Amino acid sequence: MSGKKIVCRCNDVTVEEVEALIDSGVTDIEEIKRLLRIGMGPCQGRTCIPIVLGILARKTGKKQEEIPLPKARVPTRPVRVEVIVGGDDE
């Protein structure tokens, strides 16, 4: 164990990085998402967003349910390009 606590396993983001960004004054979840790429990996935020909301609530003194979720992006799960464009013989 290195002691690093990973929040986002898609993009390798740690608790310390989230806390440092909030301490620098960035408290909007849409901004935190983009600066750290939390929730922008293949899992679409299933793992990391609830954890980040918890950290944000603790640091800002807000209730977790008062913090809006970031906008979800399609597709819900990654989709292979060929599934959309069809076969090789076009």
Partner 1 sequence: MSKIAIIGGGIIGVATAYELAKLGEEVILFEKNYFGSGSTFRCATGIRAQFTDEANIRLMKHSVERWEKLEVELESDIVFRQTGYLFLATSENEVEAFKANIKLQNKFGVPTRLIDMDEAKEIVPILNTEPFLAGAWNPKDGKANPFKTLFAYLFRARELGVDAREHTEVVGFEREGDTITAVKFRNNGKVESVKVDAVLNAANAWAPLINEMAGLKRDLVPITAYKHQLVKTEPLEPGQAEPLVCPPSWNDAYIIQDGEDGGIICGAGIEHKAKSLDDYEPTYDFLRGVLDYAVRIAPPLRYAHIVRQWAGFYAKTPDSNPAIGRLLDNFYIAAGFSGHGFMMAPAVGEAMAELISKGRSKVPLDWEWYDPYRFERGELRTSAFQIG
Q: Report residue 14: phi and psi, to 5°.
A: -100, 165
Quick check: 15 and 55 in contact, CB under 8 A? yes
- Within 67-86, the residues that bind partner 1 by CB under 8 A are 71, 73-75, 78-82, 84-85
Identify the residue whose tokens are 């990391």.
Answer: 48
The burial of 8, by beta-carbon neighbours within 10 Å (0-12 exposed, 13-18 middle, 19 or more buried), is given as buried
Given the rule CB under 8 A, which of 1-9, 29-37, 46-54, 55-63 is the region that contacts partner 1?
A: 29-37
Residue 16 or 30: the one with the smaller Cβ distance to partner 1 is 30
Q: Which residue ranges make up the site for partner 1 (CB under 8 A)?
A: 11, 24-26, 28, 30-31, 34-35, 37, 40-42, 44, 71, 73-75, 78-82, 84-85, 88
